[in-house]
Amino acid sequence: MAAPGVNTGMRKVYVVGVGMTKFEKPGRRENFDYPDMAKEAGTKALEDAGLSYDAIEQACVGYVYGDSTCGQRALYQLGMTGIPVYNVNNNCATGSTALVMAKQLIQGGMADCVMALGFEKMQRGSLKATFTDRASPMSKHVQVNKETYGRGTGPLAAQMFGNAGREHMEKYGTKPEHFAKIAWKNHKHSTNNPYSQFQDYYTLDQIQASPKVHDPLTKLQCCPTSDGSAAAILCSEEFVHKHNLESQAVEIVAMEMATDLPSAFKDKSCIKMVGYDMAKKAADKVFQEAGLNRDDVQVVELHDCFSCNELITYEALGLCPPGKAGEMVDKGDNTYGGKYVVNPSGGLISKGHPLGATGLAQCSELCWQLRGMANKRQVNGVKVALQHNIGLGGAAVVGLYRLGFPQKAASRLQAVPASTVSPESFKCNAIFNGISDVLKQDGANLVKKMNGVFCFQVKGDSGEGIWIVDCKNGNGSVKFGGPAKGDVTIMMSDQNLVDLLQGKLNPQTAFFHGKLKIKGNTALAMKLKDLKMPEGGVKAASAGASTGSGSSPGSEFKVAPVFDLIKEELNKDGANIVKKMKGVFCFRVKNADGKEGIWVVDAKNGAGSVSYGGPAKGDVTILMGDEDMLNLMSGKLNPQSAFFQGKLKIQGNMGLAMKLKELQPKGQSKL
């Protein structure tokens, strides 16, 4: 490795906490306005760092679409401490620009702990100009695009980056398949990312056969519009030592931002117009400042708004010589097993692109990779990570990261932090939310009764989650994420823990059957029954249920017994039902009180299953009222009639929806 960087006069800067929301299709998630998403991402970053909001001295908040001072409104959800808040807007590089500002505040001695937060609440469809009564900041870029390849009919951004891809093909012989392979790689990577907007696997043929947007780009080679937020907490070395954060501190070794050079417009090149030269300038400066070279890097998060841009950026960053990006793709040097792993998160193409959050989501992913906490996405032996984020108009941010204190990091207890997997992906999350609510109401008494800290290590479909239930200090608290430390540690699967805390699974039976493992204070473990809240607090909150009188999840819904019967039938003959159905049904049901219940009937994997409480994901989604759903599933309401009367709404695989009749339980007499 090359000698350390020469810029020793400035203070070192470390990332000590990161967090993000799952990126979503605009409008898909209810109660997800920008203050809500900012609160979620900011809280996760604070919990990851083990800090309270009072520790934050300044904040840099990025967003593109929104009124002035949205940054303040977003942060008010975390606290109102009077700190300076800077609102940042730099197009698609907004999140990383907020990161640069936060870094400079610490580097220059203006603060010791700064939060960089980014969010975006977007409109569906391709990006459009907001102001039409003044000069467009993109007018020069549009002119280059027009003078080189003419005016097209597709979305403007797709034209610009697609034309850059066409130029690369003409100049270097690159093939459309190279761009398609990049999209295939990123969609494949995202199947392991619970925060990704898309987690579906697509074949290369499906990528190429998807609708053409602008030659050579197809729809699956273009990033979507997204809602979401991400946050990072940066601090000085003195702050790291004062708060004992060495084991998780990631150093920003170097980070630079560049803007367009004259060549972007004078050279009549779409490759340069979309940011090649400014990215190259920032990258060259970063590697020089860091005293590192390209061979030192193992993992890269770069701005793949379109597959063409990822390929071009390989060359701009110096990951391969000019004109050799196609060869890099063919050799597999951009994925696991190759020289670099590029966009292990799924990138913008599959993870999503909420403009103000993108750069900070990249930062989050790279920090998890360096800390060895990326679960199924983990790249082996990561020592140095590279970030690239651009915004047309223009701004390019390039940064290099590495562990700040490798020896401390190597000796820490390996645990999953709050941010590596989403707590919402676990069935038991609602139970812990219920425990948190009870602690807020009567924490002092529960702490007096329990006098202990419980650590729950839970294995779910998307990885391992860790909850710390502190019933020992103050009024108690519930925290998602590591480190996995407590007076007693409870290790269970997601469903078994739900059953245990709902009283459906006997602790002794679970223990002797190997479903429950205990480490530490076994006497405290015997108090688990007290966490079930006899008054019904947790039982009511578990799996998304309310305080209804029924004992099963969603019992306040009339249709709940139908799903109990479906579950019984899957238990008896699940393999044959799965073979017949081959699909996952998501049922979103609204009762008379306006409450929504979500059932997911998996008739696709294993012997099938029925779960309540979300997340709302399936091959097909059925939306109905409670009474109508009961009548439909009990055969009293015709599906076609319900559909045309507006009582039944269907999203997704219509062919699978036609098999609804096959799911109607046979034991109608039990209803």
Active-site positions read: 92, 353
Q: Which long-range contacts (CB under 8 A, 24 or more apart) does 640-648 make?
A: 648/622, 648/623, 648/624
Tokens 């403007």 belong to residue: 156
Query: For the chain, what's the residue count?
Result: 671
CA separation for the pair 155, 178 (Å, rounded)? 22
Which DSSP string corresponds to 83-152?
--EEEE-BTBTHHHHHHHHHHHHHHTTS-SEEEEEEEE---SSS---S--SS--TTHHHHHHHHHHH---
CA separation for the pair 475, 469 (Å, rounded)? 11
Task: Indicate the Cα dihedral angle 10, 286, 306, 337, nearest 10°.
Answer: -110
3-class SS string, 338-397? CCCEECCCCHHHHHCECHHHHHHHHHHHHHHHHCCCCHHHCCCCCCCEEEEEEECCCEEE
CA distances from 578 to 61, 156, 586, 651 (A): 47, 44, 15, 21
**H helix intervals, 131-275:** 139-149, 156-172, 176-190, 204-209, 237-242, 263-266, 270-273
CA distance between the termini of the chain: 70
**What are the E-state strand segments in 404-534?**
452-460, 463-471, 477-480, 488-493, 517-520
Q: Give the containing element (helix H, strand E) for 546.
A: none
CA separation for the pair 415, 485 (Å, rounded)? 9
Sign of the Cα torsion 343, 349, 351, 357 reads positive
CA separation for the pair 557, 483 (Å, rounded)? 38
Half-sphere exposure of 488 (CA within 13 A, CB side): 18
> Are 13 and 254 contacting, i.e. CB atoms less than 8 angstroms apart?
no
CA distances from 316 to 5, 280, 302 (A): 21, 5, 11
Please state the separation of Cα 76 from the chain's center in Å.
23
Strands 341-342 and 463-471, sheet pairing: unpaired
Amino acid at 141: H
Q: What is the b/e burial string over 368-383, where b = at least 16 CB atoms within 10 angstroms of the residue's CB? A: bbbbbbbbebbbeebe
> Are 644 and 610 contacting, i.e. CB atoms less than 8 angstroms apart?
no
Half-sphere exposure of 171 (CA within 13 A, CB side): 14
In sequence order, which residues have a C-beta less than 8 Å from that of residue 504 and are 6 or more positions away? none
**H helix intervals, 243-345:** 263-266, 270-273, 276-290, 307-316, 325-331
3-state SS class at 586: strand
3-state SS class at 429: helix
CA angle 344, 100, 236 (to 5 degrees): 100
CA separation for the pair 468, 455 (Å, rounded)? 5
340 φ, ψ to 5°? -125, 155
